[in-house]
Every structure is written in structure tokens, then in C-alpha cells.
Chains A and B, each alone.
Chain A
Amino acid sequence: MTWLLFLEQCLNGLQFGLMLFLLAAGLTLVFGIMDLINLAHGSLYMVGAYIAATLTRATGSFLLALPLSIAATAILGMLLEVAVLRHLYRRDHLSQVLATFALILIANETTRAIWGVQSLSLNVPQALSGSVHVLPGVAYPAYRLVIIAVGAAIAALLYLLVTHTRVGMLVRAGASNREMATAMGTNIGRLFTAVFGAGAALCALAGALLGPLLAVQPGMGENILILAFVVVVIGGIGSIRGALVGAVLVGLADTFGRAFIPLALKHVASTSIADAAGPSIAAISIYLLMVVVLFWKPQGLFPARG
């Protein structure tokens, strides 16, 4: 193992972690404030990626498609909140699971009906397709660096928004104690719709940015949804700071596991066994991380509920 490989994997882990954070941020707020288990959160990510891919093809410009897809997904998210999800806030978690599972089915099938079962390709913008020397002699894809920068900027922006603005204060109040926030005269209905729209926008951003790296296909939301839930639980439900720390931890664990566990296994087992078991052990390491965190901190790393 060389230090260059280590550095490269650190950047990869950070990049994946920050994208997970974009998904987990919306999820943790919806979960913490509205007390809604939204399995359909991954569907918004999928829809965002599809809209971005389609608009990129239509306009020929990824930079133009990005804000448009974010806006479109945010509007779709708010419509969804007003039409369906709003009526689920006071229901038990199981009804929410059933209803949002139904939304997953509808979203995946509608996607298949519109775009077909084949995965869509979304290319890295021409200007960003090269690599950059992050250190003398160390080349790293420029596009991934941009993703890291955008993810870090959004994280900083969200942090400022939540800790230093009036809206952020309302959000924190809602996450800490919803009944009390309502009693103090907060217009909870409008706040909820706005938070949901923001969560949908972040989903679309993640979907559009990851589109060129992963396949844009029906059902793409479900696997990443589970990882986002793991992040939310590790970080503490309702906590943006927890989501950031949890996302980076999960991103690094996933990337390091994939890169180094097969290498380490090759020292103790045959190559074929290492190749077969390595990715699985890497996937398992994420869940192990969650079990360990919950063992020490049953409410997650940064519990938000007062």
C-alpha cells in the first residue's frame, strides 16, 4: 500500500460521504421534525438524476440542466408533501412505511414507463473530464474534486442556515420539540413544506452530480436510501451536524473497505477468495459501524431531541 493510493481513497471516501450527506440531510430533517419515515426519499434522488440526464441531453449543457433539475425536483417534492405525505405525519410509523413504499413502486414504475428499463448515460461535462494534480505527481479526476467542493460548500451553507438564521432556528426548534414549537406559534405547515422542498432539492443535486459516476436507472434510489438511513441513525435523528459526520464516516468506511480489505485478504487467503469476499466484507463494515455506534451511543453521535 502506497501513500498515494491512501490519499486517493481518502478523496474518494470524502466525495462519496459528501454525496451521502446531501441525501441524509433532507432525510434527517424530515425524520426529526415531521417524525416521518420517508422511504420515498431515494425516489426523489432517482427522479433528480433522470431529469438532469434528460435536460443535459436536450440542452446540451450539464451546467444548465443542474439548476433546472434541482428546481423541478424541489417542486415535485413539495407537491408530494402537500398531496400525500402531509396526511401521514400524525399516523404511526408503519402506515408511513406502507404509504412511502407504495410511492417507491409508483416512482420506479413511472420512471420505467417514461425512460425505459435501460440505464441512461450522463457524461461528465467536457471542461471537467480531465484530471488535476492535487499534489505534485498525484493526478485526481477534476469532476470528483468539483463534487467534493460543491458538497463541502452545501454542508457549510446548511450549517450556517440551521445555526445562524431564523428559519434555521425554527427547524431546530421543530426537531427538538415539535409540540412546543407549534405552541409558540410557528407556522408548522409552511415550514414542513419548505423543509421537504429543500430536502428534495438536495436529493436532485446528489442525483445529478453522481449521475455521471453511477448508472442512472430505475431502482437506483433504494440502495443509497438504506445507506442514507444508516447515516441518519449514526449521526442522530434530526441533527445536520450528525448527518455530516455520519456521512463522511460511512463514505470513508465504504471506500476504504472496498479498496483495502481485498488487498489485506490477499495476504491471508487465495486471490479468488479475496476477490469474492472483499466487497462483501466492505459492505458489512458499514453496518458493523452502525451497530458499534449504536452500542456506545444509542441515540446516535449527536442526538437532536431535547
Chain B
Amino acid sequence: MRLRRHAWPLVALALAVAYPLAARALGQEFYVGFASRVLIMALFASSLNLLVGMGGMVSLGHAAFYGAGAYVVGIAATEWPAGLGAQALAAWPLAMAVSGALALAIGAVCLRTRGVYFIMITLAFAQMIYYVFVSLKAYGGDDGLSLAKRSTLPGLDLGSDTAFYYTVLVIFAAALVALARLGGSRFGAALGGIRDNEARMESLGFPTYRFKLAAFAIGGALAGLAGALMANQNAFVSPNMMHWEQSGVALVMVILGGLGRLWGGFAGAALYLALEELLSGFTGHWQIVLGAVLLLVVFFAPRGIAGLFPGKP
């Protein structure tokens, strides 16, 4: 049976909706939390894919915005536990706003450089922010900050893994739709043009710097949202969330899944985390196998998982 192309996302959504029911029927409720983690990392990777895949901006500092979003949730819940700080509808948008503003400020400086220098300067800023949080002893410093409970959402008990999973699913689906609309818009087309030939776009009269900065800030805000969700999922935030290796893992997920492909972030995050989960069950030395799989992808699927399927690059 052949499905029309726009039917596939609906099939995926139906599977995702049915997933917790199947997990419960099989007595594997642990995997509901795992699926939430996959979706959150998919959101994080997709936000990076907006920069790297659509805009050609290879950032090795994206975890700064992810971690900042997580800390906004953590700090808000610590400072105002009884008030708005514990409210998802207040803390999560605040996390997006703070991360987006941070990305706007950092992007404004970094986007004056190109190529390898851009990679290194985004890394530098992220590491600086990492060390700031390591030294913030008031919020746990190196040891991180534990959350007493998840944020509260009117009418839903986010403490339940299933309810939290559905919340994450709705947010991820909305973000994916937004990214798809963005990719199809004039803005997305201009961004792709800048990625392929910036000088040409500039001479056509596009304010390329502003376009890139806008994409960088949107990516930062989405990463902040992912961080806010991960803080809730783990009930814990730590500076390690902004360490450069976290940025590296997100970049690996994007390349693994498919650069610039709408589903690339999801495919990469799902494959990476599934391999990690599966292999660590078999052997303590699962990273060797994971490394081998990544090498195979580089040499035999150079355009990532999504690149194995037809669709617009």
C-alpha cells in the first residue's frame, strides 16, 4: 500500500500516541520515560539542525542555550516554589525567552566570523557560560541542582510519566510543524540561499547577517525549551548540560539523522539513544559498538539516516 507523502507524519503521530498504551500493556512503563528523553533530545537536535542544516552555521556551543533553559526552570523552581516559578506556563516560556535572548547576544558576536572560527568562537562562549554555572555555588555549582518536583500544568499531573510524555509529544510535534513552516517560508528559502552562497544573497540585497542572527536566536530559544523539558524529565540540572561534549553529541545526532532534513534531528536522537540503551544492555563497552556504527554511517550513509529516504535535501 502506498501512502501519500503527507500521510506519513500522521502515521508517526498515531504510533507516538499509541506508544505509552503499548508500553503499559507489555509492562514496560520504564520505556515511557525513555521515549520522553528521545523526544526532548530530538527537539534539541532539531533546533541545532535549523542552524547547521538550514543555515550552514556549524555551532559547537548549542548546549549553552539548552543548559540555560534548564537552569531557568531549576532556578525559578528554587526561588519561587509556591508562585509562578513552579508553573510550566510561566517557567517554560521564560526559559525560551532567556535562551533566545542569550543566543541573540552571543550570535551577534559569533556571526561576524565564518567556518572553523565560528565553530571555535561558539564553543568559547558556551564554555564561558559553563564555567559561570560551575562557579555558582548558590545553585549547586559543579554538583548541579535538584528539583523537588516537575513543573505544574493546570489540569494535568506532570508527575506521571505518561502525562509528561504526552506533553512533550505535543510540544515536539508543534515545534516540528513550526520548523516545517519555517523551512517552506521565504525566510527558510533565504536561509538556504545564504547557506549555499552568502555573497550572492548579499548582492541580491538580502540582509544576510540579520537572517542568520534571527535563525540563531530561534534555534537558541528552541534549545532552551528542550533544556526546560529535560530539567523536568530528570528533575535535575547540572553544568554538564552545557559542556561542549553535550554540544558535540547534539551535532553528532544531527549529522547522524540528516543535515537540513526535517526529521533529521528526530532520526539522529532516536538512533543514538536507542543504540545507547540497547547496547548498554548487552555489554559494558557499548561505546565501542556505537563508535563503529557512527563510522559506518560516515562512510556508507554520508547524508545520514534521513538521507536514505527520498525527499528534499
Contacts and interface: CB of A to CB of B under 8 A. Distances in A.
Nearest to B248: A101
Interface stretch (A131-139, A149-157, A193-201, A283-291): A283-291
Contacts of A98: 251-252, 255-256, 294, 297-298
B288 A94 contact: no
Interface string B240-252: 0000110010011
B302 A91 contact: yes
Size category, A interface: 35 or more
Size category, B interface: 35 or more
Interface stretch (A107-115, A178-186, A207-215): A107-115
A102 B121 contact: no
19 contacts: A98-B251, A98-B256, A98-B294, A98-B298, A102-B290, A102-B298, A109-B291, A110-B285, A233-B120, A277-B135, A280-B132, A283-B127, A284-B127, A284-B128, A287-B124, A287-B125, A290-B124, A291-B121, A291-B124
Interface string B274-307: 0000000000011110111111011100100000
Interface string A272-306: 11001101110110011011001000100000000
Interface of A: 31, 37, 39, 84, 87-88, 91, 93-95, 97-99, 101-106, 108-110, 112-113, 222, 226, 229-230, 233, 237, 272-273, 276-277, 279-281, 283-284, 287-288, 290-291, 294, 298
B288 A280 contact: no
Nearest to B287: A109
Contacts of A222: 245
Contacts of A284: 127-128, 131-132
A87 B299 contact: yes
Interface string B251-267: 11001100100000000
B141 interface: yes
Contacts of A288: 124, 128
A103, A226, A287, A290 pick with most chain B CB within 10 angstroms: A287
Given A280-B132, A291-B121, A94 B58 contact: yes
B8 to A, nearest CB: 26
Contacts of A39: 248
A257 to B, nearest CB: 11
